[in-house]
Amino acid sequence: MTAAPPQPFPAATILGYPRIGPRRELKRALEAYWDGRATLGELRRTGAELRERTWKRLTGLGLRTPPSNTFSLYDQVLDTALLLGAVPARHRAGTDEDTCFAMARGTGAAAPLRMTKWFDTNYHYIVPEIGPDTAFALHAAKPVSEVRQARALGLETRPVVIGPVTFLLLAQAAPGSPASFTPLDRLADVLTAYERLLAALAAEGVGWVQLDEPALVTDLGGAELAAVRTAYERLGALADRPALFVASYFGSLGQALPVLAGTPVEAVGVDLVRGDLTGVEALAGKTVVAGVVSGRDVWRADRERALAALLAVRERAGHVVVSTSCSLLHVPYDLEAETGLDPALRRRLAFADQKVSEVVELAALLDSAPARAVPAAPDRTRAVPAAPDRTPVHAPDRAPVHDPSDAPAVAEPERAGRSPYGVRTAAQAAHLGLPPLPVTTIGSFPQTGELRAARAALAAGELDEGAYEERVRAEIAQVIALQERLGLDVLVHGEPERNDMVQYFAEHLGGFAVTRHGWVQSYGSRCTRPPILHGDVHRPEPITVRWTAYARSLTDRPVKGMLTGPVTIVAWSFVRDDLPLRDVVFQVADAVRAEVRDLEAAGVSVIQVDEPALRELLPLRRAGQEEYLRWAVEAYRWATSAAGDRTQIHTHLCYSDADQILAAVDALDADVTSVESARSGARLLGEPAVKGFARGLGPGVYDIHSPRVPTAAEAGELLEAALRVLPADRLWVNPDCGLKTRTYEQVEAALANLVEAARRARPPV
């Protein structure tokens, strides 16, 4: 460390903050730039304005040294790859921004990098490609310029960068790497780049750097723990560097805690919402950055519990400062913007800015609390045995909302239920009469500006229900006609009535509230408004039946009804924490089950129940995963098993690393499963588990996250690869995901190519 003692860590901090803009300014600026409607200069200006606004807001709320480099044009992992020079040759472009967008979105000539979920959140990061020959070279322009921008405003900041171990653990081996290679093999070289980064930041006069290491809350093996030790001993030994704050979040550090404790880093962040105090005394002599205000939910913190935890850390480890449990990236900006919420609910809520205030208030309380005043805090993870990854932090004034006598139908036996898969397929084949390799889509068709405008006009009272209904019906009729013309086999109504696959259902179910401005970034410029599930869930009336029935009336081909599954509805909502998560999921499953029954009664013979978030709620550590999968699968089966044998149940698992949970996917007992495959270069098909998968499978042959249109030959190659592991009578042809983010021009061309590829690949009759 430098001769001078480190500057003290601020008493109150946050690990990160949203960046899309309170009114999604960055989304609009990005999309304008991508569409050629704005210049790079305009995009840069929007970024600079958003950063300035954020820092001023945070200091206004009482944070002394706000974080910097938490801004990103696309993704913080991708930014780290750019920082370290880990840019595949195919993506290099004239500016940093264009290189970044080429990596994230691909170009006409180059496929993008893979995208996957950030731990157990609904945020997606870009997976860096690291090979034995990746030439790391520090390119620190972004963090350095943010430090300078803040300083020009009179503010000192703490740059935040993904740490070296998490960066390498999240990376994938570059194509062509030897089988024995893993990105972690490049630790020594990556550390050289980090050393240069620290030197560059020290030269800027930066006092503290935050290195995010969320991967340390997963099960680590010996090699990974050794990498943690190596990394922080090496960076700690650097002569001229800022003080180091290693932040962990989304769970407990476990075995990584004593390892970090043994390195010269000055501060360690622990998540005390999902994790606990175990081992914290080992951090004596360092600053413990205690995450006591949840960055993953929208509930007000329980101050007494939070303060007790802070005092317990102080007692055991000495120096504690107050923080959020993770970045506030995962919650909306400001509750003040939500004027339409029920006041009783509103009192229970805190969004990002309210959470910043909670952190600041707790720091003041801690400062005035006498030493050794309060006994050790309760071990928080033990509070909810049924849901080990969700800890209740009840605000004191939260009314009990669940009547235990009103228990969900979990225990109800599966009654008559469905026959085994083999019996059902025969019934479905006779009923549906589909060709081999049937072509279908995942549900949504492009959401045109016109449709969104109609929905906005309806919400604003400028369009009446009847006129809106007509608008949606016209869209459905067009989508059906298009699919007939292109020759698809199982049609969809296109989901034009839905703003979002979860929000739409939340708006039609009791027990949920929805927000107007509560946007949370999902990936790139995409955001969702997670609904707030605050009470008991019930379905007052059928939700989707009239749209699907209308679509059916327009065609002789089968039309697939589209529902969102119970796990996904819960995963993409902010959920009450006074009930075990499992019970909440089963309440939603009851509602979906009723909808399945009503669709079937309306004559719908194919029903898809999407569970793209099935993998997302999987506990990060192996302990608990089996139990979670057991009840999650049970909830899905409960939701779908009301259907008869002739009704074909589909599920869509999206970008869920399905290979890792294929056994559970089989247990879902869906007749057909569609899953992302094209974007990851058909990696899934190489998995041994796919060969053993005994039901219908539709590995995506069209990467819908890219504007690129696949040729029939490309799609055909993917189908041939699939036919090497799956029999023709169980292979389906479909895109990776829904088409709502694409244009009609792209979709028409791509689907025509898919139909062509399927025709060529079908076995001759």
Q: Which residues contribute to the site for Zn ion (CB under 5 A)? A: 612, 654, 737
> Where are the strands (E) in 594-666, listed by range?
606-610, 648-654
Size of the site for ligand GLN (CB under 6 A): 13
Question: Residues 443, 696, 710, 716: which binds ligand GLN (CB under 6 A)?
Answer: 443
Residue 612 interacts with ligand GLN (CB under 6 A): yes or no = yes
For ligand GLN, which is the closer residue by CB, 79 or 610? Answer: 610
The values of phi and psi at residue 451, to 5°, are -65, -45
- The tokens for 70 are 């938490």
Taking the CA atoms of 420, 422, 426 and 428 in sequence, report the sign of the dihedral they define: positive
What is the rounded distance in angstroms from the CA atom of residue 537 to the CA atom of residue 338? 22
CB of 3 to ligand GLN, least distance (A): 54
For ligand GLN, which is the closer residue by CB, 325 or 656? Answer: 656
Q: Which segment (23-31, 67-75, 266-274, 437-445) binds ligand GLN by CB under 6 A?
A: 437-445
**Residues with Cβ within 8 Å of residue 108, at least 6 apart in sequence:** 708
Q: Is 705 a catalytic residue?
A: yes
Residue 214 interacts with ligand GLN (CB under 6 A): yes or no = no
Q: How far is CA 149 from the centre of its chain?
A: 30
* Catalytic, out of 91, 124, 493, 705: 705
For ligand GLN, which is the closer residue by CB, 610 or 634? Answer: 610
Site for ligand GLN in 651-690 (CB under 6 A): 652, 654
What is the rounded distance in angstroms from the CA atom of residue 574 to the CA atom of residue 300? 12
CB of 730 to Zn ion, least distance (A): 20
CB of 742 to ligand GLN, least distance (A): 11
Contact letters for ligand GLN, residues 342-381 (x by CB under 6 A): ----------------------------------------
Residue 738 interacts with ligand GLN (CB under 6 A): yes or no = yes
Q: Which does 674 bind (CB under 5 to 8 A by kind): ligand GLN, Zn ion, none?
A: none
**Residues with Cβ within 8 Å of residue 716, at least 6 apart in sequence:** 757, 760, 761
For Zn ion, which is the closer residue by CB, 489 or 611? Answer: 611
How do 158-162 and 208-212 pair as beta strands? parallel
For ligand GLN, which is the closer residue by CB, 299 or 732? Answer: 732
3-state SS, one letter per residue, for 57-116: HHHHCCCCCCEECCCCCCCHHHHHHHHCCCCCHHHCCCCHHHHHHHHHHCCCCCCCCCEE
Q: Which does 562 bind (CB under 5 to 8 A by kind): Zn ion, ligand GLN, none?
A: ligand GLN
Q: Which does 443 bind (CB under 5 to 8 A by kind): Zn ion, ligand GLN, none?
A: ligand GLN
How do 510-513 and 67-68 pair as beta strands? unpaired
- Closest CB to ligand GLN belongs to which residue? 738
For ligand GLN, which is the closer residue by CB, 254 or 612? Answer: 612
Q: Which segment (149-157, 547-555, 584-592, 736-744) binds ligand GLN by CB under 6 A?
A: 736-744
Q: Which segment (176-184, 357-365, 438-446, 621-629) binds ligand GLN by CB under 6 A?
A: 438-446
What is the rounded distance in angstroms from the CA atom of residue 274 to the CA atom of residue 203? 37
What is the rounded distance in angstroms from the CA atom of residue 763 to the CA atom of residue 341? 57
Helix axis angle, 581-601 relative to 625-640, nearest 10°? 20
**Residues with Cβ within 8 Å of residue 765, at least 6 apart in sequence:** none
Residue 471 interacts with ligand GLN (CB under 6 A): yes or no = no
Question: Residues 170, 187, 387, 501: which binds ligand GLN (CB under 6 A)?
Answer: 501
Q: Which amino acid is at 356?
A: V
What is the rounded distance in angstroms from the CA atom of residue 671 to the CA atom of residue 119? 29
Give me the residue label for tokens 């997963």.
218
Question: Residues 442, 596, 620, 690: which binds ligand GLN (CB under 6 A)?
Answer: 442
Q: Which does 489 bind (CB under 5 to 8 A by kind): ligand GLN, Zn ion, none?
A: none
CB of 333 to ligand GLN, least distance (A): 24
For ligand GLN, which is the closer residue by CB, 26 or 571? Answer: 571
Residue 599 interacts with ligand GLN (CB under 6 A): yes or no = no
Query: What are the beta bridge partners of residue 68?
Result: 159
CB of 572 to ligand GLN, least distance (A): 9
CA–CA distances in Å: residue 657 to residues 361, 544, 585: 41, 29, 22
Residue 500 interacts with ligand GLN (CB under 6 A): yes or no = no
Question: Residues 160, 737, 750, 755: which binds ligand GLN (CB under 6 A)?
Answer: 737
Q: How far is CA 194 from the centre of its chain?
A: 27
Residue 610 interacts with ligand GLN (CB under 6 A): yes or no = yes
* Beta-sheet strand order (sheet of 510-513): 510-513, 532-538, 574-575
Helix axis angle, 465-486 relative to 449-459, nearest 10°? 160
Q: Which segment (446-454, 585-593, 709-717, 732-740) binds ligand GLN by CB under 6 A?
A: 732-740
Do residues 573 and 502 touch, judged by C-beta distance below 8 A?
Answer: yes
Q: Which does 740 bind (CB under 5 to 8 A by kind): ligand GLN, Zn ion, none?
A: ligand GLN
**Residues with Cβ within 8 Å of residue 292, at least 6 apart in sequence:** 272, 273, 301, 306, 309, 310, 322, 323, 325, 362
For Zn ion, which is the closer residue by CB, 320 or 722? Answer: 722
For ligand GLN, which is the closer residue by CB, 9 or 572? Answer: 572
The footprint of ligand GLN (CB under 6 A) covers: 442-444, 495, 501, 562, 610, 612, 652, 654, 737-738, 740
Residues classed as catalytic: 705
